[in-house]
């Protein structure tokens, strides 16, 4: 073996690894006049490839190739390279003066140190090209840039080898080799993934030849970017068209639900965020538009620290009436927000007041997505109760929910919720539901549980759900907590404290029925509970205080249904000691009101 000069003469080349790159570069060196003296090929595929591209070259073991070759071309996967080189050094196979050329993008020549220590000449070349492993790849080598890394004294040898293969050497310093390779991977391999994702979406909506529809635009974008850089960027992000970006993500989230694959949505979000940041940095997108786009991209694309907070216009919630639509919308929005997204759900019967406001505010503070249902559930009203005159104000409710930042409102009609009539199968509240409110309103809690179970079935699925209920309806809250526990419903129940008017009256939609005199008389309920809690009166005295209460100047009185102190878990009557719960229900005029107080 003669010592090579800067322009290698005719060398005996050994190829380790007849993968796509090794076989093609071996063939290129052979075309340049070198003799390929041996090749390794383990799989049937690489043996076939070696026969095709290096006909007549003997297939040998790795040590045999190294022994016979003046130039060893190592074309194994990047991760295997260090072990192979050091293994051959340990076996004493490397020879002084031997050229050892690897083609791994990620490594410089440090990985060849064990061979260099044995006297070999370390060279790293990497064709910036994608190969099929077929003879047509040889044409692609014409003017193909090769990253070349080698100690300065021997670098010309590597450069000369590249030129002989028809390529164009580009020197990459040892320290930058990994970044060089990361950049190529990002700009080529990841681009293939983007094209694959876009093609998939087009396919899913039934476009016949997705690659033809996408092709002209993709090629023009790549050409423009390569020729003139990112100033050629077009599209909704750089136009600051945040509404379009938001809709894209929602549509992709729905597609993700249908296909069960979320990668397109995630990649779109991250790429759009990077696109927006880079457009802002070069002055193509104003900070305000950038902020709007970032908001449209949701929490998966975290705010950049330098973005000024914009005053947020409250966006009205999306209102749906069909259960199916509600379920799909909520799931797709949750998917769009990411795998950790939480949904806060507030079931109501409308005629919203500040008490509901508290539930919604807490849901908003604790969750990514907030949904409110407005449905006056006939199933929980008994004959002669106030179903037909239950207060309703949908426009007012929607205005309030807009201010509170609710995302989705589900406002079904009775036929939407109970198509074909009231349900035959219902959830039973058992013993807990027969007493107190249940004994005055038979079937009430079964009706509540049935509708709540139906609503829970619509809001759950793939994301965490927290549902918010007011403590004013203490018995309802307890029974719903038991239902969730007893029936393994995957919803976390969050109790919210009673909200009272400044004079102490617990807020309720039914307060709307009270005239001024009745409202004044109703205060006896909260006042008496307060006195009971303070130990100022006994339960008997509290009952008497309510029973003598008169409404205005007329003959009407406040009619007590029950005032009792119970164990908060079992609702069984107990002595009024700390930790127990005082419950009251009374008719004030024609309006039935309830209230409670923890002692």
Q: Which is nearer to ligand PAF, 149 or 380 (CB)?
A: 380
Tokens linked to 156:
């010309």
Nearer to ligand PAF, 165 or 467 (CB): 467
The reply on whether position 478 binds ligand PAF by CB under 6 A is no
| Nearest residue (CB) to ligand PAF, 291 versus 348 | 348
Tell me the three state secondary structure of residue 185: helix
> What would the DSSP string read from start to end of 318-349?
EEE--HHHHHHHHHHHHHHH-TT-EEEEEEE-
**Alpha-carbon dihedral 66, 72, 73, 75, rounded to 10 degrees:** 30
Identify each DSSP E strand in 154-195 by its residue range.
168-171
Task: Identify the residue among 21, 128, 336, 452 touching ligand PAF (CB under 6 A).
Answer: 452
- Helix 263-281 × helix 242-259 angle, to 10°: 160
Q: Which of 377, 460, 471, 580 binds ligand PAF (CB under 6 A)?
A: 377
Stretch that binds ligand PAF, among 55-63, 70-78, 334-342, 446-454 (CB under 6 A): 446-454
At its nearest, how many Å lie between ligand PAF and the CB of residue 374? 9
DSSP-derived 3-state class of residue 432: helix
* Closer Cβ to ligand PAF, 197 or 348, answer by number: 348
Q: Does 448 bind ligand PAF (CB under 6 A)?
A: yes
Among 409, 451, 483, 584, binds ligand PAF (CB under 6 A): 451
- In angstroms, give the least distance from the CB of 473 to ligand PAF: 5
Total residues at interface with ligand PAF (CB under 6 A): 10
Q: Please say whether the beta carbons of 467 and 493 come within 8 A.
A: yes
253 binding ligand PAF? (CB under 6 A): no
Is residue 348 a contact point for ligand PAF (CB under 6 A)? yes
DSSP annotation of 376: -
Among residues 169, 298, 347, 438, which is the contact residue for ligand PAF, using CB under 6 A?
347
Nearer to ligand PAF, 74 or 479 (CB): 479
Compare residues 351 and 545 and give the one whose CB is closer to ligand PAF: 351
Q: Report which of 119, 189, 179 is spatially closest to residue 149, judged by C-alpha positions.
A: 179
State which residue, 337 or 371, has the beta carbon closest to ligand PAF.
Answer: 371
> For residues 315 and 402, is the Cβ–Cβ distance under 8 A?
yes
Choose which of 349, 369, 370, 459 interacts with ligand PAF (CB under 6 A).
Answer: 349
Closest CA to 22 of 11, 38, 6: 38
Rounded least distance, CB 437 to ligand PAF, Å? 11
> Does residue 468 contact residue 494 with C-beta atoms inside 8 Å?
yes
- Provide, rounded to whole angstroms, the least separation between the CB of residue 377 and ligand PAF: 4
Structural contact between residues 69 and 98, judged by C-beta atoms closer than 8 angstroms? yes
CB of 420 to ligand PAF, least distance (A): 20
356 is catalytic: yes
| Listed ranges 4-12, 41-49, 95-103, 346-354: which one lies at the site for ligand PAF (CB under 6 A) | 346-354
What's the rounded Cα separation, in Å, for the pair 174 and 110? 8
Among 356, 358, 444, 597, which one carries the catalytic annotation?
Answer: 356
508 scored as a contact of ligand PAF (CB under 6 A): no
Following DSSP, what letter does each residue of 544-589 receive, concatenated?
Answer: HHHHT-B-TTSS-BEEEEEEEEE-TTT--B----TT-EEEEEEEET
- Residue 445 C-beta: closest distance to ligand PAF, Å: 9
Strands 99-102 and 71-74 come out as parallel
Q: Check binding of 169 to ligand PAF (CB under 6 A).
A: no
Q: Which is nearer to ligand PAF, 67 or 385 (CB)?
A: 385
Considering only 119-127, 276-284, 313-321, 445-453, which stretch makes contact with ligand PAF by CB under 6 A? 445-453
Q: Which stretch binds ligand PAF (CB under 6 A): 101-109, 320-328, 433-441, 448-456?
A: 448-456
Contacting range for ligand PAF; rule: CB under 6 A; set: 19-27, 190-198, 237-245, 342-350: 342-350
- Cα 439–Cα 442–Cα 443 angle in degrees, nearest 5: 135
Helices (H), 390-509: 394-403, 414-417, 437-440, 444-459, 474-486
Nearest to 15 by CA among 147, 113, 103, 90: 103
List interacting residues with ligand PAF (CB under 6 A).
347-349, 377, 380, 448, 451-452, 473, 476
Q: Which residues are catalytic?
A: 356
């Amino acid at each position: 073996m003669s010592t090579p000069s800067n322009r290698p003469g005719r060398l005996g080349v050994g190829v380790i690894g007849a993968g796509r790159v090794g076989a093609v570069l071996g063939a290129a060196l052979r075309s340049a006049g070198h003799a390929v003296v041996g090749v390794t090929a383990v799989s049937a595929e690489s043996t076939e490839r070696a026969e095709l591209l290096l006909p007549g070259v003997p297939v040998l073991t790795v040590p045999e190739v190294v022994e016979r070759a003046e130039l060893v071309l190592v074309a194994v996967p990047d991760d295997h390279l260090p072990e192979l080189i050091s293994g051959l050094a340990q076996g004493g196979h490397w020879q002084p003066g031997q050229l050892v050329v690897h083609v791994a993008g990620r490594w410089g020549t440090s990985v060849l140190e064990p061979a260099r220590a044995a006297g070999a000449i370390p060279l790293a070349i990497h064709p910036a090209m994608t190969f099929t492993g077929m003879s047509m790849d040889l044409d692609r080598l014409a003017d193909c840039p090769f990253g070349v890394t080698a100690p300065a004294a021997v670098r010309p040898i590597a450069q000369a080898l590249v030129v002989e293969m028809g390529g164009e050497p580009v020197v990459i310093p040892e320290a930058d080799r990994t970044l060089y390779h990361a950049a190529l991977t990002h700009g080529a391999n990841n681009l293939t993934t983007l094209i694959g994702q876009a093609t998939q979406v087009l396919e899913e909506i039934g476009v016949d030849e997705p690659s033809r529809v996408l092709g002209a635009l993709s090629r023009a974008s790549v050409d423009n970017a390569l020729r003139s850089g990112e100033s050629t960027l077009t599209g909704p992000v750089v136009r600051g068209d945040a509404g379009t970006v938001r809709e894209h993500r929602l549509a992709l989230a729905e597609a993700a639900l249908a296909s069960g694959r979320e990668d397109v949505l995630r990649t779109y979000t991250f790429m759009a965020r990077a696109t927006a940041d880079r457009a802002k940095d070069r002055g193509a997108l104003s900070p305000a538009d950038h902020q709007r786009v970032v908001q449209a991209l949701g929490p998966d694309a975290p705010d950049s620290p330098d973005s000024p907070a914009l005053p947020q216009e409250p966006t009205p919630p999306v209102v749906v009436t069909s259960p199916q639509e509600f379920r799909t919308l909520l799931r797709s929005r949750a998917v769009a927000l990411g795998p950790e997204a939480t949904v806060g759900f507030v079931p109501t019967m409308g005629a919203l007041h500040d008490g509901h406001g508290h539930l919604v505010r807490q849901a908003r503070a604790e969750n990514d997505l907030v949904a409110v249902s407005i449905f006056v559930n006939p199933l929980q009203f008994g004959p002669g109760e106030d179903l037909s005159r239950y207060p309703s104000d949908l426009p007012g409710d929607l205005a309030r929910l807009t201010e509170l930042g609710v995302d989705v409102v589900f406002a079904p009609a009775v036929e939407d919720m109970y198509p074909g009539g009231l349900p035959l199968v219902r959830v039973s509240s058992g013993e807990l539901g027969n007493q107190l409110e249940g004994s005055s309103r038979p079937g009430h809690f079964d009706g509540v549980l049935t509708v709540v179970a139906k609503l829970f079935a619509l809001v759950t699925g793939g994301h965490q759900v927290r549902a918010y209920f007011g403590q004013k309806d203490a018995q309802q809250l307890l029974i719903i907590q038991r239902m969730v526990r007893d029936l393994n419903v995957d919803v976390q129940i969050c109790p919210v404290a009673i909200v009272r008017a400044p004079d102490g009256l617990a807020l309720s939609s039914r307060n709307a029925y009270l005239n001024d005199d009745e409202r004044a008389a109703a205060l006896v309920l909260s006042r008496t509970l307060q006195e009971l809690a303070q130990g100022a009166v006994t339960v008997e005295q509290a009952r008497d205080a309510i029973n003598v209460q008169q409404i205005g100047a007329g003959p009407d009185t406040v009619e007590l249904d029950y005032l009792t102190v119970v164990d908060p878990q079992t609702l069984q009557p107990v002595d009024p000691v700390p930790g127990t719960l005082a419950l009251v229900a009374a008719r004030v005029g024609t309006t039935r009101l309830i209230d409670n107080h923890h002692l």
